[in-house]
Amino acid sequence: MTDGPLIVQSDKTLLLEVDHADAQEARMAIAPFAELERAPEHVHTYRVTPLALWNARAAGHDAEQVVDALVRFSRYAVPQPLLVDVVDTMGRYGRLQLTNSPVHGLVMVALDRAVLEEVLRQKKIAPLLGARVDDDTVIVHPSERGHLKQALLKIGWPAEDLAGYVDGEAHPIELAEDGWNLRDYQRQAVDGFWAGGSGVVVLPCGAGKTLVGAAAMAQAKATTLILVTNTVAGRQWKRELVARTSLTEDEIGEYSGERKEIRPVTIATYQVVTRKTKGEYRHLELFDSRDWGLVIYDEVHLLPAPVFRMTADLQSRRRLGLTATLVREDGREGDVFSLIGPKRYDAPWRDIEQQGWIAPADCVEVRVTLTEAERLGYAVAEAEERYKMASTAHTKIAVVTSILKKHPGEPTLVIGAYLDQLDELGEALNAPIIQGSTRNKEREELFQQFRQGDLPVLVVSKVANFSIDLPEASVAIQVSGTFGSRQEEAQRLGRLLRPKGDGRQAHFYSVVSRDTLDTDYAAHRQRFLAEQGYAYRIVDADDLLGPAIPDVG
């Protein structure tokens, strides 16, 4: 036994004692191959998974480094079966390689012939392959490069893709030099991405993911396709690129429901590229309209399934995914790994906060007791109606008003998921409402008034989950959400994390109906933020200014 900061357990969980003198060094050593699961005050929990180990291998780490890190920092003897499993799991990556043959084009080469024989007998893989060149080499249809990587990952033999990338059509892009520089972590993120050629950068909201994208474009110096969640986010990208790079407005096209411009840098919404007409994706030609040198996926954790299918055909292009969290509620993290690329850089939210680049946040869950009538209505409601009833309880309106009184004059977002509830809130608070049907022009005008301080309160629907640049928002009150979505909780808090001009703290309130499904889903929603080190205080709605109720759950 040593005095290490890490406890390595046979179920592949790693417990890190945060206050230990060597905790930071240990965290840096295990971060490449272990996923952070929980990060409360004193002990952080990581888990070693096959995908995390393959991510580490793809990023250039080997099993010897992983074993060394575990043994060096562990307080107790590391379970021998876990070490064997680490070596075996990492050893599965790269026994099959995709590469270019000067004679046959794209081929799959086996470093282990038995693995190739096993794979060739898989019904879902055989159709993706061409003729067998020799005992260790099989021709791959270039259009199936992505699909093959997906299929191999699913059966536990992830391929190492060494087939390289086309440079695409050259286009001059430089970072502007007037008054700003990349922060150290942004530079490390770009370097990590570029060294691998494709992959994902994970940074908290407000930490400048757009600038990482701009720097990657300046490195590529090529035509770039940027895929974003909505038109408002696309126009924010355009403003940032014009301000931060040598690109002019004329060089940047918008491909959305309103415009169909294809230019050297084209910003398209996921919605328009996945729109079907008569059963067909009409806008697929966008992907072939230019010889793109770089494809950027903003908010990659929200990537729609059809875009995965399209991305499978883009494996010869450099691909950069940007996200605040790799959590996907549909469990498709493996598809992100195989089709966009492995995680190339990840910075914990609290680390960026401690460096002063994002604002500190106070997270509060406000528990509301329903009226007797509301409780009875909830008790007799059909199961599928109960969550909506609890989420939209009229009792929450008075609580929102009380919270606003605690923060007079502070720019505040009131966020919900149900339109009738938003209408009720807008009327009660005398505040404008932004929802999916709000026209883009009106949205941008309202957001601009909010930024300027002319509008202290905005009531917003799910549009607040996506890239909205509201740097001065300092209070968010969440009244309802999409069941237990962890990614949504992260996105909503992220709206507050841009540093405030006066250095003030951000406040994130979640108003929850006690003794209902609302409470259960809130606990699940909060998991990701707890993993990032954000602790929720629980207060009673009747005693908002009083002491917190101990969270015994």
The 3-class SS string of 451-504 reads HHCCCCEEEECHHHHCCCCCCCCCEEEECCCCCCCHHHHHHHHHCCCCCCCCCC
Task: Give the pLDDT score at 546.
Answer: 46
Classify strands 318-323 and 475-478 as parallel, antiparallel or unpaired: unpaired
Q: Name the amino acid, one letter, at 197.
A: G
Q: Say yes or no: 292 and 436 in one domain.
A: no
Last residue within a domain, chosen from 111, 128, 161: 161
CATH code: domain of residue 496: 3.40.50.300
Burial of 513 (0-12, 13-18, 19+ CB in 10 A): buried
Q: Quick check: is 257 in a domain?
A: yes
Task: Give the pLDDT score at 531.
Answer: 62
Q: Contact 33/61 with Cβ under 8 angstroms?
A: yes
And the tokens for 425? 């809130």
Total domains in the fold of the chain? 4
Q: Quick check: is 143 in a domain?
A: yes
Q: Say yes or no: 81 and 102 in one domain.
A: no
Digitized pLDDT (tens) for each residue of the chain, 553 residues in all: 678 999 999 999 999 998 999 998 998 899 889 987 776 678 888 999 999 999 899 888 999 999 999 999 999 999 999 999 999 999 999 999 999 999 999 999 999 999 999 999 999 998 999 999 999 999 998 889 999 999 999 999 999 999 988 899 999 999 998 767 899 999 999 999 998 889 999 888 778 889 999 999 999 999 999 999 888 788 889 999 999 999 999 999 999 888 889 999 999 988 888 887 777 777 767 887 889 999 999 988 777 777 777 787 788 899 999 987 776 656 677 888 888 888 888 877 777 877 878 777 788 889 999 999 999 999 998 877 888 898 899 999 999 999 999 999 888 989 888 889 999 999 999 999 988 778 878 888 888 888 888 889 999 887 655 555 665 688 889 888 765 455 566 666 766 667 666 667 788 898 999 988 888 777 767 766 666 666 678 888 887 644 444 444 3
Last residue within a domain, chosen from 338, 353, 368: 353
Q: Quick check: is 78 in a domain?
A: yes
Reduce the DSSP state of residue 101 to 3 states and report it.
strand
Last residue within a domain, chosen from 130, 161, 192: 161
Q: Contact 201/209 with Cβ under 8 angstroms?
A: yes
Q: Say yes or no: 510 and 387 in one domain.
A: yes
Q: Quick check: is 548 in a domain?
A: no
Task: Give the pLDDT score at 154.
Answer: 92
Q: Quick check: is 171 in a domain?
A: no
Q: How far lies 111's CA from each of 96, 127, 159, 161, in Å?
A: 6, 21, 11, 13
Q: Say yes or no: 525 and 427 in one domain.
A: yes
Q: Say yes or no: 283 and 339 in one domain.
A: yes
Torsions phi, psi for 36 (to 5 deg): -70, 125
Count of residues for the chain? Answer: 553
**Widest distance between CA atoms in the chain:** 77
Task: Give the pLDDT score at 463.
Answer: 66
Q: Say yes or no: 337 and 363 in one domain.
A: no
Q: Say yes or no: 197 and 333 in one domain.
A: yes
Reading across the β-sheet that carries 536-540, which strands appear in turn?
Answer: 433-434, 457-460, 412-415, 475-478, 506-513, 361-368, 536-540
Tell me the torsion sign for CA atoms 214, 218, 219, 221. positive
Q: Say yes or no: 370 and 348 in one domain.
A: no
Q: Quick check: is 166 in a domain?
A: no
Q: Quick check: is 470 in a domain?
A: yes
Classify strands 43-47 and 96-101 as parallel, antiparallel or unpaired: unpaired
Q: Say yes or no: 69 and 132 in one domain.
A: no
Q: Where are the alpha helices (DSSP H) in 332-459?
A: 333-335, 349-354, 372-380, 383-391, 395-406, 419-429, 440-452
Q: Say yes or no: 411 and 464 in one domain.
A: yes
Of the candidates 466, 375, 463, 354, the residue with the CA atom closest to the CA atom of residue 414: 463
Q: Say yes or no: 342 and 420 in one domain.
A: no
Torsions phi, psi for 118 (to 5 deg): -65, -45
Domain range for 41: 6-92
Task: Give the pLDDT score at 263.
Answer: 95
Q: Say yes or no: 332 and 383 in one domain.
A: no
Task: Give the pLDDT score at 489.
Answer: 64
